[in-house]
């Protein structure tokens, strides 16, 4: 391959079904259920449980639409992208304009909810402090101060590019479910212990009439917003045509079930209050769940619920700041907002201006409007946006019938028409009980249309179509396996290729060099195209070196949100048989063994692994090979047969024995060495050596001073769960002054091994 051949650019779809589901569940089971339970109970009494059930049914209609559109058009931007695809003019702009505002208003609700739970903690456990502070400043000022601070913190985090990683986000969501599960458990325990009391709490069921149910539906609809974030990251989900519909409906099922259980126990389990339970909950509004927990849970109950509320509001705030700024960024990229908002910070690689503008709006809303108006405004805008998404399904069925729709809305067109009707009806009904929300929303829409027709309409016509990211080809369609070499350090390109090319030649595999362009979560993954030129010189050097040494090589740039996701995605897509990557030899934190990227690759690589610490560039003539047998050592011997000939090495097979070892101990060591030598080519220069040392790792590190390279297999059973390849190999890799090659045989499922053998 000539050095003029450009590298391919591919995108890492690093979110599986579980990850996508957790995005939806984490966003839905956020501040909404904690903040709005008491408000809903106060507006409709025990019938608030019916309001949540009906909202779930209304949401399901729109979920069908999102599932079809997101799986058919897996594009960043979610509802905005779908509506703009169907209605590219003013209506498409309005959808994005409203969705941006809706996410931003939701941020305001979550910031206010965090402040409420923050002070609830101090009110419960440090009453003297809160009593004095609230006595001096009043009830609203302390809440507004915390709202301002938490808002600024998460705005700053998003600007800097900080994020909760996918695994931590999943853990956070599971922790929230666990907290609410504890709450439900103790609530059901109380209900079953006193069923008569619980029945009385639900009588009368409609104390404020049927209208109260509609009011509660309008106020709490925002609690069902969140599954649409799955569509917002659609281009980052593996097999989107299958996983997006599944994740959407699983997330909705989990959330609605949890909501109904929480409402049921909140209303039915409280028994030690005067008057109706629903009035008690309504009086405490956003902290009603805490008051309920205080009544029927043990002493730790309040702390658990407050902790869950803080977790939920923080995670929801972070997710919606990210989502709202992404919508603003996408609109600016489409020339529907000032181009300044589509600019990316050169170092942080985040849409700084989009985040700042979003932050100013969310703080302004949070500091000036009451929480009922904030929740109602967010619910109203989501209702209107969801109506447009249902309309987009109908429009795209007519305008683009040729699109391949793996998932289709059932009972079309009845389902989207019903979705439009119910969403619009609930939106209009909100004017009866919360006209301020309508005034704010109408003002925002009118203002948006004025600037659209006055300025952005002409600019938007010049925008090129957005890049779509199709699903990667399945493994079965790849022609053969490869040896994959991720490149990062320009100084190590040649050495890595020197090690990888003979292995590829001996195994009859393709040689593929890959570089990963990392973009933060604050940007859609395809925006990494703006930064791929930073990685091209790395691959150009690989191609030039390969051409000089008559090596056939393919090069690939992968755009990903995490470097290890990009490497693992490339390993799957290219059907890596062996993965060889460099390692600097140490890590900066105790929590990581080899470093964040290497640790993740070692744990999850779907192939044999070679991890090379390069002490210095140069020849590799003297090799120390310590062994205690096992499958990893056998693989290391197989690689040494190839590398030994390629580098004309002298290999010393060694075993560590204690100082003054007995003849039996020495004989046992000799037996292990001989057992390993069976796997070596007879033409390879070999010698045997017994190393006397107090510790195995220390002895090998000291003995390696006379070698250029140490090749060591992973331990059969890592000593601690934290260990990735075993304690001794990790210590040798870390402390040896020579270059070290760690070898780990792939130990996947029987199915995976069969596929590799049959490849």
* Section 556-572 average pLDDT: 87
Residue 63 Cα to chain centre, angstroms: 21
Query: What would the pLDDT profile of 407-449 be if each residue is shown by its tens digit?
Result: 899 988 899 999 999 989 888 887 877 788 888 888 888 998 9
Query: What would the pLDDT profile of 241-287 be if each residue is shown by its tens digit?
Result: 788 888 889 999 998 998 899 889 888 888 877 778 888 888 877 77
Comparison of pLDDT for 708 and 315, the residue scoring more: 708
Comparison of pLDDT for 595 and 626, the residue scoring more: 626
Whole-number Å distance between alpha carbons of 53 and 425: 17
408 in helix, strand or coil? coil
The confidence score (pLDDT) of residue 759 equals 40
Instruction: Yes or no: say if 330 and 82 are a contact pair by the CB < 8 Å rule.
Output: no
Structure tokens at 14: 């690093």
Whole-number Å distance between alpha carbons of 685 and 699: 23
Domains and CATH numbers, the chain: 15-401+414-459 (1.20.1740.10), 477-614 (3.40.50.620), 616-743 (3.40.50.620)
Structure tokens at 174: 């599971």
Comparison of pLDDT for 630 and 671, the residue scoring more: 671
The confidence score (pLDDT) of residue 162 equals 61
Instruction: Yes or no: say if 34 and 313 are a contact pair by the CB < 8 Å rule.
Output: yes
Q: Residue 408: is the preceding peptide bond cis (ω within 30°)? A: no
pTM, 2 dp:
0.73
Q: Which of 695, 682, 681, 689 is nearest to 710 (CA)?
A: 689
Whole-number Å distance between alpha carbons of 304 and 440: 36
Query: What would the pLDDT profile of 456-493 be if each residue is shown by its tens digit?
Result: 877 765 554 444 444 444 434 445 789 999 998 888 89
Residues of the chain with pLDDT > 70: what percent? 87
Comparison of pLDDT for 472 and 661, the residue scoring more: 661
How high does pLDDT run on average in the chain?
A: 80
DSSP letter for each residue of 262-320: HHHHHHHS--SSSS-HHHHHHHHGGGHHHHHHHHHS-TTHHHHHHHHHHHHHHHHHHHH
Comparison of pLDDT for 676 and 722, the residue scoring more: 676
Query: What are the angstrom distances between the C-alpha of 323 and each of 165, 306, 328, 354?
Result: 15, 25, 9, 11
Comparison of pLDDT for 318 and 357, the residue scoring more: 357
pLDDT of residue 236 exceeding 80: no
The confidence score (pLDDT) of residue 148 equals 87
Highest mean pLDDT among 48-57, 173-182, 462-471, 599-608: 48-57
The confidence score (pLDDT) of residue 717 equals 53
Provide the pLDDT confidence category of residue 115 given band limits of 50, 70 and 90. Answer: confident
Whole-number Å distance between alpha carbons of 166 and 150: 22
Comparison of pLDDT for 215 and 486, the residue scoring more: 486
Provide the pLDDT confidence category of residue 512 given band limits of 50, 70 and 90. Answer: very high
Q: Vertex 528, ends 527 and 531: CA angle to 5°? A: 120
Comparison of pLDDT for 749 and 420, the residue scoring more: 420
Query: What are the angstrom distances between the C-alpha of 82 and each of 106, 146, 403?
Result: 21, 37, 13
* Section 318-331 average pLDDT: 80
The confidence score (pLDDT) of residue 591 equals 43
The confidence score (pLDDT) of residue 496 equals 93
Comparison of pLDDT for 129 and 559, the residue scoring more: 559
Contacts of 10 (CB under 8 A, 6+ apart): 472, 556, 557, 558, 559, 569, 570, 573
The confidence score (pLDDT) of residue 167 equals 57
Whole-number Å distance between alpha carbons of 70 and 85: 12
Mean pLDDT is lowest, of 427-431, 472-476, 549-553, 677-681, for 472-476
pLDDT of residue 586 exceeding 60: no
């Amino acid at each position: 391959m000539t050095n003029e051949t450009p590298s391919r650019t591919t995108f890492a779809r690093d979110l599986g079904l579980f990850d996508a589901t957790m995005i939806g569940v984490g966003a839905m089971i956020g501040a909404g259920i904690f903040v709005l339970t008491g408000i809903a109970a106060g507006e409709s009494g025990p019938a608030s449980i019916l309001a949540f059930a009906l909202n779930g049914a209304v949401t399901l209609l729109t979920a069908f639409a999102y599932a079809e559109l997101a799986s058919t058009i897996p594009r960043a931007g979610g509802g905005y992208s779908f509506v703009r695809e169907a209605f590219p003019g003013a209506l498409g702009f309005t959808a994005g304009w409203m969705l941006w505002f809706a996410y931003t208003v939701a941020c305001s609700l979550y910031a206010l909810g965090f402040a409420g739970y923050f002070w609830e903690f101090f009110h419960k456990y440090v009453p003297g402090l809160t009593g004095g502070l609230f006595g001096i400043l009043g009830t609203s000022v302390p809440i507004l101060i915390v709202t301002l601070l938490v808002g600024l913190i998460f705005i700053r985090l998003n600007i800097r590019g900080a994020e909760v990683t996918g695994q931590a986000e999943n853990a956070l969501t599971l922790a929230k479910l666990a907290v609410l599960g504890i709450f439900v458990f103790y609530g059901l325990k109380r209900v079953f212990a006193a069923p008569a009391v619980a029945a009385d709490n639900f009588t009368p069921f409609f104390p404020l009439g049927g209208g109260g149910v509609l009011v509660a539906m309008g106020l709490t609809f925002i609690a069902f917003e969140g599954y649409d974030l799955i569509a917002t990251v659609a281009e980052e989900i593996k097999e989107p045509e299958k996983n997006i519909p599944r994740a959407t409906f699983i997330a909705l099922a989990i959330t609605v079930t949890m909501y109904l259980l929480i409402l049921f126990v909140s209303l039915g389990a409280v028994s030690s209050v005067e008057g109706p339970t629903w009035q008690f909950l309504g009086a405490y509004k956003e902290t009603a769940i805490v008051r309920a927990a205080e009544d029927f849970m043990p002493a730790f109950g309040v702390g658990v619920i407050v902790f869950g509320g803080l977790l939920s509001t923080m995670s929801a705030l972070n997710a919606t700041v990210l989502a709202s700024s992404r919508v603003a960024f996408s609109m600016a990229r489409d020339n529907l907002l000032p181009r300044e908002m589509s600019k990316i910070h050169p170092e942080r690689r985040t849409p700084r201006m989009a985040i700042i503008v979003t932050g100013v709006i969310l703080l302004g809303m949070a500091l000036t409007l009451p929480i009922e108006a904030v929740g109602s405004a967010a619910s109203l805008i989501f209702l209107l946006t969801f109506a447009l998404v249902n309309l987009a399904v109908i429009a795209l069925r007519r305008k683009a019938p040729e699109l391949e729709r793996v998932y289709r809305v059932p009972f079309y067109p009845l389902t989207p028409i019903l979705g439009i009707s119910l969403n619009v009806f609930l939106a209009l009904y909100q004017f009866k009980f919360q006209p301020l929300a309508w005034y704010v929303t109408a003002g925002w829409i009118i203002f948006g249309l004025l600037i659209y027709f006055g300025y952005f309409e002409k600019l938007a016509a010049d925008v090129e179509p957005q890049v779509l990211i199709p699903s990667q080809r399945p493994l079965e369609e790849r022609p053969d396996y490869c040896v994959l070499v991720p490149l990062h350090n320009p100084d190590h390109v040649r050495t890595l290729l020197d090690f990888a090319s003979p292995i590829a030649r001996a195994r009859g595999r393709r040689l593929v060099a890959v570089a990963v362009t990392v973009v933060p979560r604050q940007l859609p993954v395809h925006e990494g195209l703006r930064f791929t030129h930073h990685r091209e010189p790395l691959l150009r050097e690989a191609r030039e070196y390969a051409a000089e040494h008559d090596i056939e090589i393919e090069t690939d740039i992968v755009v990903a949100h995490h470097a290890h996701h990009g490497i693992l995605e490339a390993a799957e897509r290219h059907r890596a048989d062996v993965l060889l990557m460099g390692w600097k030899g140490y890590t900066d934190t105790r929590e990581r063994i080899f470093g964040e990227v290497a640790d993740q690759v070692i744990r999850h690589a779907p192939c044999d692994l070679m991890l090379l610490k390069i002490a210095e560039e140069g020849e590799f003539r003297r090799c120390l090979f310590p062994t205690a047998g096992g499958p990893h050592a056998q693989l290391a011997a197989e690689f040494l047969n190839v590398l030994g000939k390629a580098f004309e090495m002298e290999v010393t097979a060694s075993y560590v024995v204690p100082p003054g070892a007995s003849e039996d101990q020495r004989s046992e060591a000799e037996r292990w060495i001989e057992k390993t030598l069976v796997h070596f080519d007879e033409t390879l220069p070999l010698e045997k050596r017994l190393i006397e040392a107090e510790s195995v790792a220390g002895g090998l590190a000291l003995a390696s001073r006379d070698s250029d390279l140490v090749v060591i297999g992973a331990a059969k059973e890592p000593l601690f769960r934290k260990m990735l390849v075993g304690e001794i190999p990790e210590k040798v890799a870390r402390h040896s002054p020579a270059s070290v090659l760690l070898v780990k045989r792939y130990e996947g499922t029987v199915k995976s091994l069969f596929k590799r053998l049959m490849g």
